[in-house]
Structure 1
Amino acid sequence: MLSTEDFGVFAEKFARFMGTAKFLIWMTVFVVIWLGWNTMAPEKLRFDPYSFTFLTLILSLQASYAAPLILLAQNRQEQRDKVIAEQDRQANARAHADMEFLAREVASLRMSVGEVATRDFLRGELRSFREDLVEGLADHLADRPEAGDEDHPANR
């Protein structure tokens, strides 16, 4: 027994085939042979003696089956497109949330980096510390009594 899914797959394959050049070529060959046979063959061998009425009926029958099969294939494609669109929407929502999170993280890092001492700041502080140290050492050495300096308060 043919399931709904199997029939849907058949409809899609049939619809795809009908949209190919191969189908158009085979259909054209069929119609040309039909027309040629029923116009050039002896009257006894012609199978469509009524001005191609049978051909018209066959083409109408083919069209009456093709249209619903094509619609079925389109409906199945539409359902797949909806699923894909929903998956794309969810992926976009996740990507958007990730981007917002990363933007907050980058802003947080920028704020943190603003509070961190930079290399130039540290160099300036060390230079200032060194200058203060050198001045203090110079002052300390200047205040230190030399041997033989009796006027210095430390030697009294």
Structure 2
Amino acid sequence: MADKLDTPLTGRRRWMPKVDLESEGVGRVAEAIARFTGTPQFLIWLSVFVFAWLGWNTWGPESLRFDKVELGFTTLTLMLSLQASYAAPLILLAQNRQDDRDRVTAEQDRQRAERNLSDTEYVARELAALRIALNDVATRDFLRSEIRDMLEELQARDHEDETKPDEAGFSQGGKDT
């Protein structure tokens, strides 16, 4: 028997089935209950229940009353205490799950902001490179002024050529004087 102590048992039978309390389903149910207990609808239904309970056990037929006024409605007090003792941990569980979701969302937002910042810096660098490159490129106004200067220069040459006599002594205008 001592030689089997180092091997784990396989297929051990349980008298109760194992419930995974860390599952997503349990968390969703807890959140649904916590969400419902925080609504005006729940408060109205709880108030109606308490008033009906008090009314029945105060003015109902004495033989059918199940919670005595003389004892301070002990059963109602116990039921409300039980409801509160379950509601508080369910609310905390729902709050913890919300905190986890908020943490994940904040991390995703931080990563998105980092990507946006790097994209913005990349676009700014590209824009600066384009501005530097455009300083080397001739602009429309620069080209117009250069063409205007060349045109004026050509017109000045043509004017000089018209007034200058050719080798035979004739002017370039076509008539000799």
TM-score by length of 2: 0.78
Name the aligned partner's letter for residue 5 of structure 1: E
Name the aligned partner's letter for residue 50 of structure 2: V
Structure-2 residue corresponding to 1:103: 124
CA RMSD of aligned residues (A): 1.8
Indicate yes or no: 2:64 matched with 1:45.
yes
Instruction: Give the Å deviation of 1:139.
Output: 2.7
Instruction: Provide the rounded CA distance (Å) in 1 between the counterparts of 2:66 and 2:165.
Output: 135
1:121-136 equivalences in 2 (<5 Å): 121-136=142-157
Instruction: Provide the rounded CA distance (Å) in 2 between the counterparts of 1:138 and 1:42.
Output: 130
Structure-1 residue corresponding to 2:111: 90
SS in 1 for 2:92: helix
Indicate yes or no: 2:46 matched with 1:27.
yes
In structure 2, runs of 5+ residues without a counterpart are 1-17, 171-177
The CA deviation string for residues 13-71 of structure 1, in whole angstroms up to 9 with x for no partner, is 00010011111111001100110011011322110122201111100000000000110
Structure-1 residue corresponding to 2:159: 138
SS in 1 for 2:72: coil
Structure-1 residue corresponding to 2:86: 65
Instruction: Provide the rounded CA distance (Å) in 1 between the counterparts of 2:48 and 2:165.
Output: 120
Q: Share of identical aligned residues, percent?
A: 56
Instruction: Provide the rounded CA distance (Å) in 2 between the counterparts of 1:90 and 1:75.
Output: 23
Name the aligned partner's letter for residue 94 of structure 1: R
In structure 1, runs of 5+ residues without a counterpart are 151-156
SS in 2 for 1:117: coil
Instruction: Give the Å deviation of 1:137.
Output: 3.0
Instruction: Give the Å deviation of 1:144.
Output: 4.6
Bigger helix fraction? 1
Instruction: Provide the rounded CA distance (Å) in 2 between the counterparts of 1:2 and 1:74.
Output: 22
Aligned length: 149
Instruction: Provide the rounded CA distance (Å) in 1 between the counterparts of 2:90 and 2:139.
Output: 72
Give 4+ residue runs of structure 1 displaced > 3 Å after superposition: 140-144
Name the aligned partner's letter for residue 48 of structure 1: D
Instruction: Give the Å deviation of 1:112.
Output: 1.9
SS in 2 for 1:145: coil
